[in-house]
Amino acid sequence: MTDNATALLNRDGLPDDLKVLYARYPRADWNSVHTIGELGAFWISRHDMFRDFGRLLRGGLDDLREERVTAERFARWFAPRLNHFLGDLEGHHQVEDYQYFPLFAAAEPRLARGFALLEEDHHLIHELLERNAEAAGTFHRDLLTGSEQMPYSRDAYAAEADTLLRGLMRHLEDEEDLLIPLLLDQGEARFGGS
């Protein structure tokens, strides 16, 4: 169980005791001093996709707020993108929790607590995803019906989305800081990579 300092929405990075490999393989050296293989590159590309989707959704909401797009057009654009984002994120976390994190934790016992921390993050992110989807549903209905409540449901959704994205961005960075040094240290072949 995490303490308050390591809880996802409170921390500003991994605790020092989980940076044992990161000290040897800092982010600044990835792909300059140390070459990331296919598995690590794939992982980062998936994370970058989530970052890009987060920026895209946030930007779309700003466009609606600033009336650069109509409510009708935004509603058609918003729903499929949000559903794709939420569904992909949930699937990604399931693969990590059930396939990769146990494998990584067994490979480097000093990092086992870190992978348990990331799994706890997934539980909180799942709760945030559910809250986000519920707020998005209300907001989307208000958009489609032209409800006078739309500015309020939009702002409620925006608050949920900001919390989700803040936690997600922290999680993605921490996961990379734990995972990529492990892959660089032990080689990707051990984990099914090349």
161 close to 57: Cβ distance less than 8 angstroms: yes
Averaged over 161-177, what is the pLDDT? 95
Averaged over 93-102, what is the pLDDT? 91
- pLDDT, residue 1, reads 54
Averaged over 71-89, what is the pLDDT? 90
Averaged over 5-28, what is the pLDDT? 92
- pLDDT, residue 14, reads 94
- Identity (one letter) of the amino acid at 52? D
Per residue in 43-58, pLDDT (tens digit) is 999 999 999 999 999 9
Confidence (pTM) = 0.92
Give one DSSP letter per residue of 113-128, joined into a string: HHHHHHHHHHHHHHHH
**Which class is 15-191 in CATH?**
mainly alpha
Averaged over 18-37, what is the pLDDT? 93
The string over 110-124, giving b where at least 16 C-beta atoms fall within 10 Å of a residue's C-beta and e elsewhere, is: ebbebbebbbebbeb
Angstrom distance (rounded) from CA 22 to CA 40: 14
